[in-house]
Structure 1
């Protein structure tokens, strides 16, 4: 049996590193996972175009999905393994939730192979991917905010310490993404420095829960640029014309959102003068799906 699924990337509204509460929104960049079940009890993984990539996350995501749900499908969880392959338009270690997208796509593809994709609650499936991310050491907070936005679509606000969804709404934005050449791994982030901006993170969460998402993004972005040592200049470039702009995750990418194409055109021209890559995309209402 085999299965296939896709999951979108996400951008940050509020980074959860400071307080354990975070918010993120799905964007239209995808990771695809293909899973073939095996009968040798082992799990293997590969990332297309990156033969040296660490595959522990996708292997754990597939293995834990089989352990959790395999008996529902009537398979022997002791002898059932998986061969996982992923391909992605989401750059790794860029703050765009590539790990969450890979984990979600793998969990859903494994459920598809087990013929359970339509019967397992998506939030429950999302939590399996979060557990795999923690076990693989690719996240500090568990990234339930990022994972839930990717799995469910739209914009989510979460308590990452309890893996609890506090709010989910649909947003309709054009999105501009600027990714500098350097890379930054979430697990290497300076948590102590982030915790020093906790009052600003609390303010950002309250703004998000009040529906003031753009303001939440901008407050978050300026605070976490200071905490993590990134330049705030790309955010300043974007304000005040866009709805919101922020450092995404622990960087190095920045995101700006809005419904005014003229404003985003201006920001795009400014960001394209910087080294790196600028992408124009949109928010995603639909989250991870079988393919």
Structure 2
């Protein structure tokens, strides 16, 4: 697959590195040669210096024949314009990083499709969703929903109290029929398991199952579901604001912010949260807030 990525910041560089390891045909575009040079020297991909909103630069990157065009510069307007230009040149599918939650409204979806943007990424929204998933399922390390939630992939770390520790996978399969162990992460190694592989303490097992059987994993893995009611957030970042908007009516949320001006603005953005002015690195502040 030919993929053009615009923006060599943290998000763009991370994407380029991941996709290059999968032997995809990657071209990374940025107008800062310094950011490009570091990546170009260490990864199997091509780089191009230039503006993402230049037709000449996009054509030089081969956008007219790319399968996927991803714009992840810090400027959402630039990203949207770049995607629109890439689509007009011939890119099959375009993705733009945005910072405005309003853009995700379904009523606005037709507008972005019309101008050539196939998908939008709002990193702070995705991060907030991940945090909510972790709060709702405190016993899970990883949670992925496939095929519109019909299949669930759950990553669970096993402790010594898990009854399946010490079993070979073929023994586990003979007893349990509602789960499939898709992978085992042991230390820094990912194992694609076979029947003779043995389940060990501290392994992270990735189970594939359906939603109806997820709760059965609690007993198998020796886990206990703990309901979380109170959440303390250190720093009034955009992720914190988005998390408060999504989950403020479910959890009692308190935000500690050390910037006085930002602290004064937070009550307007997070009306259902307690806002505290202070340094979250100060142990006395944390003790005062009941940590």
Question: What TM-score does the superposition give when structure 1 sets the normalisation length?
Answer: 0.22
Greater relative contact order structure (CA < 8 Å, 6+ sep): 1
Question: What TM-score does the superposition give when structure 2 sets the normalisation length?
Answer: 0.22
